[in-house]
Chain A
Amino acid sequence: MDFLDQAVIARLSRLQLAVRTPMLGSVTGLHRSATRGASVEFAEYRKYAPGDDLKFLDWRVFARTDKYFIREFEADTNLRCYLVVDTSASMKFASADNMTRFDYARRLAATLAHLLVHQGDAVGLTAFSEKAVDLAPRNTSSHLRQFYKLLEEAKPSGEANIVQTLHDFAERVRSRALVVIISDFFAEPGELLDAFKHLRFYKHDLAVFHLLDRQEYDFDFTRPVRFVDMENGADLITDPAVIREAYREAVNDYLAAMKHGCTQFQVDYHLTYLDQSFEGVLTQFMLQRIRQSKKGGR
């Protein structure tokens, strides 16, 4: 399992992977719940209703006002996180010195899974290409091993329809969760953003790692090249010098649309280049989420 770097994990373990919105967990955990619970953190008073547990009755208030008020506390719950990893053939791409996009995605997913399980959160995996393979979220060590195994056995191949896959995923997982999508997102930005919107509709905390190789941005070829589509084998012979300007325009337009759409739908968007350190990317990701979580009231 070369996608696990224990040193990195050890350093990242000092940080907590937080969510930006309250979660609906099954057990007590580190994250704010959407319901009231039994934590030590006071939430609010409400009028007593028959059937309420009397131990939450505030007698002092009763003594002063002669009225029954129930004290409520915040609930802490665990987190269910779905890591959605693109395993289509385009994930095999890598320029000269970089690891493949899939390797990068796998490192991100494995590290995140390890951190989440070890902070008591449940982690599930959806690896998709032409078809999606799901691993339901659990927070046990045995589940984590199964998670790793699935990642290790995954081979990038086939042609993915990421938009349809995300729509299907949204319909399948309706209870709110942290959804982390790791992909190259080579699809129409409008359609992708629709899928993100669909996921946000079910109140998922959506984080996106958009993996790009530097060469895919720079397009710095000097000779005519026959480009072969890694997913469907279609090819195109062209002189990069001729279309470089137009290519960069297309990339810039695409990235601008993605960034703008994600900001609009409150998607935690991370454009990540494969030559960046994945530890740095994750650190940035986690710190940012912690800040956002505190702003959210916790």
Chain B
Amino acid sequence: MTYLQPWSLWLLALCLLPIIIHMLNRLRYKTVQWAAMYFLLKANKAATKRAKLKQYLLLLFRALAVLFLIWAMMRPQVGGWLGKNAGGAPEVIVVMLDRSASMEARVGSDRQDTKRQQAIALLSEASKDSQGSRFVVIENVLRQPLEVADLKTLATMQNGEPTDSAADIPAMFRTAVEYLVKNKPGSAEIWLASDLQKSNWRDESAEWQDITARINALPETHIRVIDLSSAPGTNLAIAVKAAEFRPSKTAPEKGSLVISLETRAGGSTGTFPLKVTRDGATSQSDLVLNSPVRREALKYDIAALPEGGGWGKFELPVDENDRDNATYFTYRQPVPLRAAVVSDLSGAKRIAFAAAPDKSRLDRTADIVPPGRTTDLKWKELAMIVWQGAAPTDALAKQLLEFAESGGVVVAFPAGGDSGNGPLGITWSAAENTKEPFRIANWDELDGPLARTDNGASLPVGRIELTRRQVGRIAGDKAHVFGVFADGQPFLTGQQIGAGHVFVCSAAPDPEWGSFGDGFVLLPMMQRLLVQGGTRLAPPALAAAGDWKPQDGDVWTSVETDRRRDPRWHSGVYKHAGRLIALNRPESEDSPDFIDAAAVKKLMPGAKLEVMSGVLTMKADRLRSEIWPLMIVATMLFMILEMLLATSKALIPQKPKPKVPVAAAAPKKQEASV
């Protein structure tokens, strides 16, 4: 507890005032010659014990009333949310710091400090009241519990630096819970400083049920969320969505660079300078913004593609958040993405078409391979293998496994018929037919093949109607279900195998099976899977900071030598062994959607959770709430108690009233005696 008026501490001596007055009163007695000592001695004997108790209680209440009044004048502050539990500091405090790109927004009237800096200051200040606790920091990028002696050091630690990454709040909670389960502290608190960005919290994720259940199972665990959300300002954000080098058909080293650029105006309109850097050369152009989001495709002629590819960046002027004012790209000769559809069923054509619909593009092809001719597969050139048929032979299964582990994508579709096995541990149940169509009730819109589009639009998965299905499952407990039928059976399941993935779909894209083959879901799903498998053939040229992890031992250095960057969490263009990669903040960090405190509480029903809102309007040293109103209430309470006790006869010995009303025997003046 700290005090805004600590000088008032001296006034605490005034608490003794009622006692001093009482003592002085006792000392300042007057002497009376008294005859009726007979009554006095009787009364004194009868009343002394209880009367003294009453007197002492009165003194106590008076002293406490003065004490709380002076206490209120001292304007005490406690960590309103920390000091709420009077049980003392917890044994462990897990501090979860969201240092995603959106936390670099500057807040406050002076726009000096970012939300992350404010968060660190607030946490440091709050930690003063918990000196006896162990502090464990979990930040959003590494998500490794790190014990620190003093939260102040976060301001200078690498783990407290700004990043261009996103925050996976549920994953951070999981890490915290795992730490607490492993270390079994007697009491713990989880402090989370976050701007409550909806994309970071993934409030629609089913994970929260499991997280809540695990938190509720922990002993004495309180969660404090420092709400750093702020009203949307006029921040501009720019992002390269895609950068593609299209070589000339005559000279592959020449061609054009097509860049999909998205600019979010954040409420601003007007013309802004856009600085463009390409292969070290900088130019500037005007960017006209008259809508909340501007999307454009910029095309640049490339006279000669640099060896290993080229790179560039777009920069906007400094505004509320510096982290979203720059976006990077690299470009290089495209790697052809090839898919093989191993099937002899009629739906194979639809699958192949969905994977490579544009026949004019030579860099994306899909071939149909009958199951009996798998020896024709060019494994090294393939990005995705679609399997629709009986389980492969052992030799072929081994090749498929190697393909997946090297980064390829294997997708299995059902062939109908009885239950059986598919490739890579996939099992099929017997095909089911129904008159009432099967529908997909839930699917993962945040990640995976059924996720929303770049524009935020949902895939119309719910519109798929199937009259037949054959439920496929992947052995093991690491499988992730991307979509489920209304009866809970999986529609699409995926699992990582080495660097690649295997997916199993419970419906074939055949008109006989239903509308899945119509393509409105199949098309984006297959193309996404093909692109995902393309990482096997060439490392990505554009990735999200924080999501992309360099392989162990690889040293990636920034092509911009003027700034210290870490490829684990900073955006920029990095180079390793002649390869380039552009890392940008995740798209989700530009989302203007935030959840509110009520939504946070809904995520964890039953958990001891408190959301401290409005902290950004305070200075760091004022995180702790002033509790003088409480003191005033206490003062009033003690004054009322004093008044009630002073007028009460509760502590005076009461005897039954005499039968004769003796009071009447004390006639007023001039009345005759009895």
- Contact surface of A with B, Cβ cutoff 8 Å: 89-93, 101, 184, 186-187, 212-214, 216-217, 221, 223-231, 234-239, 242-243, 245-256, 259-260, 269-273, 275-277, 280-281, 283-285
C-alpha gap A254/B660 in the complex (Å): 12
State whether B673 touches A242 (Cβ < 8 A). no
State whether B660 touches A256 (Cβ < 8 A). yes
Size range of the chain B interface in the assembly: 35 or more
State whether A239 touches B26 (Cβ < 8 A). yes
State whether A247 touches B35 (Cβ < 8 A). no
State whether A224 touches B48 (Cβ < 8 A). no
Chain A residues near B660: list those with CB within 8 A: 256, 259-260
Partner of A236, one of B28, B44, B649: B44
Nearest CB on A from B648, distance (A): 11
State whether B46 touches A223 (Cβ < 8 A). no
**With A225-B31, A253-B655, A276-B667 as given contacts, are A284 and B55 in contact (CB-CB < 8 Å)?**
no
Chain A residues near B653: list those with CB within 8 A: 246, 249
Pairs A–B under 8 Å by Cβ, sample size 30: A89-B35, A92-B33, A93-B33, A187-B38, A214-B669, A217-B666, A224-B28, A224-B29, A225-B31, A227-B34, A230-B34, A236-B37, A237-B29, A242-B47, A243-B40, A243-B51, A245-B47, A247-B40, A247-B43, A250-B39, A252-B662, A252-B663, A259-B665, A269-B674, A271-B673, A272-B673, A277-B670, A283-B672, A284-B672, A284-B673
Highest count of chain B CB atoms <10 Å: which of A92, A221, A250: A250
B561 at the interface (CB under 8 A from A): no
**With A227-B37, A246-B47 as given contacts, are A239 and B55 in contact (CB-CB < 8 Å)?**
yes
State whether B672 touches A227 (Cβ < 8 A). no
Nearest CB on A from B464, distance (A): 88
State whether B43 touches A246 (Cβ < 8 A). yes
Highest count of chain B CB atoms <10 Å: which of A228, A245, A259: A245
State whether B26 touches A225 (Cβ < 8 A). no
Partner of A225, one of B30, B36, B55: B30
**With A184-B35, A254-B39 as given contacts, are A246 and B672 in contact (CB-CB < 8 Å)?**
no
State whether A242 touches B670 (Cβ < 8 A). no
Partner of A226, one of B32, B42, B671: B32
State whether B34 touches A229 (Cβ < 8 A). yes
Chain B residues near A234: list those with CB within 8 A: 37
Complex: chain A residue closest to B658, CB-CB: A256
C-alpha gap A284/B671 in the complex (Å): 10
State whether A224 touches B25 (Cβ < 8 A). yes
Contact digits for B356-391, partner A, Cβ 8 Å, 1 yes 0 no: 000000000000000000000000000000000000
- Top 3 nearest A-B pairs (CB, nearest first) are A246-B47, A247-B43, A256-B658
C-alpha gap A285/B33 in the complex (Å): 31
Chain A residues near B54: list those with CB within 8 A: 242
Chain A residues near B658: list those with CB within 8 A: 252-253, 256
State whether B666 touches A223 (Cβ < 8 A). no
Chain A residues near B231: list those with CB within 8 A: none
C-alpha gap A24/B640 in the complex (Å): 70
Chain A residues near B28: list those with CB within 8 A: 223-224
Chain A residues near B655: list those with CB within 8 A: 249, 253
B182 at the interface (CB under 8 A from A): no
Nearest CB on A from B283, distance (A): 93
**With A224-B28, A226-B30, A229-B37 as given contacts, are A249 and B43 in contact (CB-CB < 8 Å)?**
yes
C-alpha gap A249/B39 in the complex (Å): 9
Highest count of chain B CB atoms <10 Å: which of A93, A252, A256: A252
Chain A residues near B669: list those with CB within 8 A: 214, 273, 275-276
State whether A259 touches B662 (Cβ < 8 A). yes
Partner of B41, one of A236, A249, A259, A285: A236
